[in-house]
């Protein structure tokens, strides 16, 4: 049911639920009675136009409901729509690829930082192991010198 049909009422049951037919008649959705109208009602402004008119005399809108809906959804010609979709798809593809390149760049930067911190941790661990080894060697030498001194002092 179109909004414009609300101005008409079924003469049998009084319903405003009227369905537009392609031949310019209206059918009551409640009781099924067909009604002839003197003209086509514009779905945009409600003006009554001669049945043979395709466009409203008052506002210039398409009088066919399907055409009117299509005109509202896609006001441009098919070729223009296709070109618009083509450019929109190209733009979306470029945006997606740019986002993917940016993500990959960030991942590589994070991986490089992880490798740097891993290398620094390995260097620090090696330094600590050297310190422990040097400390163990110094302790061993001190113990050995102590034993030698003990033996020398005891033997005299």
Rounded to 5 degrees, φ, ψ at 130 are -65, -45
The pLDDT, as a whole number, for residue 5 is: 39
Does residue 135 carry a pLDDT above 50? yes
Rounded Cα gap, residues 83 and 87, in angstroms: 6
Kindly list the domain boundaries of the chain, sorted by start residue. Answer: 3-73, 76-156
pLDDT at 113: 97
Q: What is the pLDDT of residue 76?
A: 54
pLDDT tens digit sequence for 78-93: 677 778 888 888 999 9
pTM, two decimals, is: 0.37
């Amino acid at each position: 049911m179109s909004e414009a049909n609300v101005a008409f009422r079924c003469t049998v049951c009084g319903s405003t639920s009227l369905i537009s037919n392609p031949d310019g008649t209206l059918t009551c959705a409640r009781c099924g009675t067909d009604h002839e109208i003197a003209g086509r009602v514009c779905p945009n402004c409600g003006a009554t136009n001669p049945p043979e008119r395709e466009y409203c005399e008052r506002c210039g809108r398409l009088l066919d409901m399907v055409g009117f809906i299509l005109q509202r959804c896609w006001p441009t010609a098919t070729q223009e729509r296709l070109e618009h979709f083509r450019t929109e798809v190209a733009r979306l593809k470029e945006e997606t690829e740019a986002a993917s390149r940016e993500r990959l760049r960030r991942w590589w930067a994070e991986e490089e930082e992880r490798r740097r911190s891993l290398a620094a941790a390995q260097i620090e661990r090696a330094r600590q192991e050297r310190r422990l080894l040097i400390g163990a060697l110094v302790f061993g030498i001190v113990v050995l010198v102590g034993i030698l001194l003990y033996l020398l002092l005891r033997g005299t």
